[in-house]
Structure 1
Amino acid sequence: MLFSPFAASAGIIVHPGVEGRSISTVSLRNIYTLRQTLWPNRQPIVIFVLPDDHPVHEAFAKEKLGLYPYRLRQTWDRLSFSGMASAPVEVKDENEMRARVRATPGAIGYTSKDTGHDGIKILRLE
């Protein structure tokens, strides 16, 4: 099955209680490489991700973070195995991603830009 890079492009979503309307590229990368674990208001960040081979995950990692998915996985494995951080929570699809982000205070995730976003906040990347 072929995927258009435009269809797989990922948008950043957060729980509606997360403050702000935008996030810097540096902050987003720090969150997803487990270097930043708290939001500016000191609320813990809960990270949700799609499976490594999901086209939206691949687009998110490459376009938004500038990393290949396998590099992210290596970082998560190294930090979680060493006990320095917990790996992100993997969800099976975009529907579960939206549901979990909506229900989890401090949550961040990503979905296709063309999917519905009821009850969650979309962050603009600066």
Structure 2
Amino acid sequence: MWLWLFWLPGGVAGADEVVVIANPDVEIDTLSHDMARAIFAMRQRTWPDGRSVDVYVLPGGNPVHKRFVKSRLNVYPHQLQLAWDRAVFSGTGQAPHQADDQQTMLHQVATTPGAIGYLERDHLEDSVHVISLAN
């Protein structure tokens, strides 16, 4: 009887849903999927108001990182890593900052102006705000 709930687009949002977070000084509430991909691939280096974007990610083997990259950015983790490596080795860019775990991610994004990252919804605190991803 309740089986239909799991067939809804996007599934059922739960505490383990991975959300995009930003420092409270970032005045954006919604990002397009393309802009989110560009930011996390380190191709988009500034916010629309011209301020610098500081990107934080979890380690590549972290299950939350894998879920975020696949479900929210619609790419594979190795593709994202390849984009970072290419930018670093060519001298045209840099890799994102790496947070060891979700608690560190929360702290780094909350205390770094212009920062963006992600974590599971059940790790959210008022020190950051959620940015929605629009189609």
Query: TM-score, normalising length from structure 1?
Result: 0.91
Which residue in 2 is equivalent to 1:110?
A: 118
CA-CA distance at 1:118 after TM superposition? 2.2
CA-CA distance at 1:35 after TM superposition? 1.4
| Matched ranges for 1:23-102 at <5 A | 23-102=31-110
CA-CA distance at 1:107 after TM superposition? 0.3
Runs of 4+ in 1 over 6 A off after TM superposition: none
Letter in 2 for 1:41: D
1:2-22 CA-to-partner distances (Å, cap 9, x unmatched) read: xxxx66531000000001211
Give the % identical residues: 37
Which residue in 2 is equivalent to 1:20?
A: 28
RMSD: 1.2
Change over 3 Å in CA distance of 1:97–1:115 after alignment to 2? same
Aligned length: 121
Change over 3 Å in CA distance of 1:48–1:118 after alignment to 2? same
Gaps (5+ residues) in structure 2? Answer: 1-13
Gaps (5+ residues) in structure 1? Answer: 1-5
Query: TM-score, normalising length from structure 2?
Result: 0.85
